[in-house]
Structure 1
Amino acid sequence: MLGDRPGEIRCKVSILNKKGENLVGILEDNGSSQIILCHGFRSSKENGVLTSLSSKFLSMRFSTFRFDFSGSGESEGYFQYGSYWKDAEDLSSVVTYWRDHGRKVDALVGHSKGGNAVLLYLSKYKDVGTVVNICGRFYLKNGIKERLGKNYMQLIEECSYVDVKDRHDKVLLNTVS
């Protein structure tokens, strides 16, 4: 499908990760090397930050690919709380896919939890020259207490699961240890 600018193509692409799950993303291609954009916790490739960044990078003559980590958005798999290394491996599958298809990956940009994924990816693979972490968390201990409650370890030990709740005490998901 044609994009918004002359010479630009926008299309949906599915990429298999190392577990055989389809990762679904949007390629906005203007023929240049590309930047891969990664979403945050409980988000998707359609997040406003990522769509705005994609638009801006396209205007600067960079192609972009924004995708859903496994278990998020349109991608296959199950959501897992705190799956930082799993996200980094999904990102590895995406980078490998584009390189195998003759594309140069110039940069990785991650927002929130995606910011942690790009840093973990870089720490393991060291093969992308530019990595941008936008609002990635650096001290996760308090975030876990905020989302799971003070007694989360006791609940996990007693029940083998804990509920993740929002600010209004509504259960968002159950996590299994």
Structure 2
Amino acid sequence: MQEAAQQLVSQKQKVIVTNSYGEKLVGLLHETGSRAIVILCHGARASKDHFIIENLAIALENEGISSFRFDFAGNGESEGTFQFGHMRREADDLHAVIQHFSGTNHVVGAIFGHSKGGGDVLLYASKHHDIPIVVEASARYDLKKGIEGRLGKDFMEKIKREGFIDIGSDKLWVTEESLMDRLSTDMHESCLKIDKDCRVLIVHGSADESTPFADAFEFAKIIPNHRIHIVEGADHCYTSHQAELDTVVVDFIKSALQQDKPTFN
């Protein structure tokens, strides 16, 4: 067991990718030798080391599939400033990462995102049509919702008056520009542009306290080539359901990669 753990550590490699804004994005490559690689995207105010992302990387590794987990700009070890909205900019970060690995001996076979990262991967798929497998977990369908609970009932008046809202408990400074960016991001219109050949897995917990699991069914209505899986009893971070999340996601990715075997061999 100790030898296996040492081998797992030796397969991790820190990789730095520069995004289109000149910021350095820091990530960890889990190298198994597979040509196909899966890019893993964390949620808001999280990082590549969030247990959902790290555990999924290990689960993929156990199936012989390489993965790369990285910090979006302004998160974790990456350069830049965290922004409340800016999901389209995070999709640009993802594009920089995909371009980096497409220039190596890897082929990016799938992208996964949790929460805000789930929205990021869907936005990416709506703009770029180069990834055959997309998995989103716990993404929000209507980005105009959920803001009042975080910023307060009078958030619009306050931000118009002061130009920002300081959420002391979260150490989060929400600017008017970042709020407007979130409010102007239309997930419905974006998801209508996802290629019909792109295989999409939609995962959500039935006890999600942050984003209603009904959002999963809204995505399912407009994404043509999808499969939906509701994890019964799971909260937003799948705290007591990590094993089921990993199994569902890895099985979906592994099966889809097998169907595209000529591309990834």
Q: TM-score, normalised by structure 2?
A: 0.62
Structure 2 counterpart of 1:48, from 48, 51, 70:
51
Equivalent residue in structure 1 for 2:62, among 55, 59, 77: 59
The answer as to 2:25 corresponding to 1:26 is no
Larger Rg: 2
The 4+ residue runs of structure 1 with deviation greater than 6 A are none
Identify the residue that residue 10 of structure 1 maps to in structure 2. Answer: 12
Query: 1:140 Cα shift?
Result: 2.2
**1:163 paired to 2:162:** no
**One-letter amino acid of the counterpart of residue 175, structure 1:** V
Partner of residue 176, structure 1: 175
Q: Deviation at 1:138?
A: 1.2
Deviation (angstroms), 1:67: 0.2
Residue 153 in structure 1 maps to residue 152 in structure 2: no
Q: Secondary structure at the match of 1:35?
A: strand
- Match for 2:121: what amino acid? V
Q: State the secondary structure of the residue aligned to 2:146.
A: helix
Deviations 1:54-113, CA, capped at 9 Å, x for gaps? 111011110010000000000000111111101100000000000012310010000111
What is the one-letter code of the residue matched to 2:54?
T
Judged with a 3 Å threshold, the aligned counterparts in structure 2 of structure 1 residues 145 and 125 are, in CA distance, closer, same or farther, namely: same
Give the strand-richer structure, 1 or 2. 1
Q: Where do residues 7-156 of structure 1 align in structure 2 (5 Å cutoff)?
A: 9-32=11-34, 33-156=36-159
Gaps in structure 2 of 5+ consecutive residues: 177-265
Query: One-letter code of the match for 2:141?
Result: F
| CA 27–174 in structure 1, closer or farther in 2 if over 3 Å, else same | same
Distance 1:134 1:171 in 2: 23
Question: How far does residue 28 in structure 1 lie from its aligned partner after superposition?
Answer: 0.6
Q: Give the partner amino acid of 1:115.
A: G
How many Å separate the matches in 2 of 1:48 and 1:10?
16
Identity %: 40
SS of corresponding position for 1:26: strand
- Counterparts of 2:130 and 2:170, CA distance in 1: 40
Does the 8 Å CA contact 1:22/1:76 hold for their aligned counterparts? yes
Aligned length: 172
- Distance of 2:156 and 2:88 partners within structure 1: 21
CA RMSD of aligned residues (A): 1.8
Q: Secondary structure at the match of 2:147?
A: helix
Q: Which moved more, 1:57-66 or 1:142-151?
A: 142-151
TM-aligned CA distance change 1:171 to 1:16, over 3 Å: closer
* Structure 1, unaligned runs of 5 or more: none
Higher helix share: 2
